[in-house]
């Protein structure tokens, strides 16, 4: 009887350690994904090697962390709203087209909704990469011109001022 109590507590401790390790590895994966995105954006701008671009992109991000964070939060929110909008509208159109068929539409409608989320996430996921590359371009421009962006469209220059 005492052995089964010990095994239960050991399994609980092992499960807790496993959860902590999984959490740490998940955090490490998120950091590496972010650095990977920074590296690819910086490679597209500078043409440098991967490791050099990862370092330069990371340092650029640190110098302009407020701008990067704000733009990524706003961009992520807009992408999320876009994904939900596309999914709900597409599912609504599907349901309106087939509601008179008389079949059980709930499983099919759920499948259409999930498919719309996956497809729209695939395409709107590129929006995050575009934000990262644009932010790096602006940050490099500001670094090269004493904190004031010199290049860009007239509307961009007007909105910066």
For the cut 80, the answer to whether the pLDDT of residue 4 exceeds it is no
**Percent of the residues in the chain that have a pLDDT greater than 70, as a whole number:** 88
- What is the pTM (predicted TM-score) of this model? 0.67
Higher pLDDT, 98 or 28: 28
State residue 140's pLDDT score.
87
Ordered by start, the domain boundaries in the chain are: 2-154
State residue 102's pLDDT score.
67
For the cut 60, the answer to whether the pLDDT of residue 59 exceeds it is yes
**For the range 141-145, what are the long-range contacts, defined as Cβ-Cβ under 8 Å and sequence gap of 24 or more?**
142/64, 143/60, 143/63
State residue 88's pLDDT score.
93
Provide CB contacts within 8 A for 74, sequence distance 6+. Answer: none
Higher pLDDT, 82 or 152: 82
State residue 126's pLDDT score.
84
State residue 10's pLDDT score.
62
Give me the sign of the Cα torsion angle 47, 60, 150, 68: positive
Higher pLDDT, 85 or 154: 85
Model confidence pLDDT, tens digit, residues 12-24: 888 899 999 999 9
State residue 116's pLDDT score.
93
Structural contact between residues 57 and 41, judged by C-beta atoms closer than 8 angstroms: yes
Model confidence pLDDT, tens digit, residues 112-151: 999 999 999 988 888 888 888 888 888 888 888 887 777 7
For the cut 50, the answer to whether the pLDDT of residue 65 exceeds it is yes
Mean pLDDT, range 36-50, rounded to an integer: 90
d(CA 126, CA 128): 5
């Amino acid at each position: 009887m005492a052995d089964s109590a010990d095994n239960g507590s050991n399994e609980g401790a092992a499960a807790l350690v496993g959860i902590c390790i999984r959490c740490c590895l998940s955090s490490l994966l998120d950091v590496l994904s972010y650095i990977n995105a920074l590296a690819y954006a910086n490679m597209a701008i500078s043409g440098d090697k991967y490791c050099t671009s990862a370092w330069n992109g990371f340092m650029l991000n640190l110098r302009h962390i407020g701008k990067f964070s704000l733009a990524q939060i706003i961009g992520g929110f807009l992408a999320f709203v876009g994904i939900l909008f596309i999914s709900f509208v597409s599912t609504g159109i599907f349901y309106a087209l087939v509601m008179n068929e008389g079949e059980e539409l709930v499983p099919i409608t759920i499948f259409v909704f999930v498919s719309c989320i996956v497809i729209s996430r695939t395409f709107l996921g590129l929006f995050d990469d575009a934000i990262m590359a644009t932010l790096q371009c602006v940050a490099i421009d500001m670094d090269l011109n004493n904190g004031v962006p010199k290049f860009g469209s007239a509307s961009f220059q007007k909105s910066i001022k």
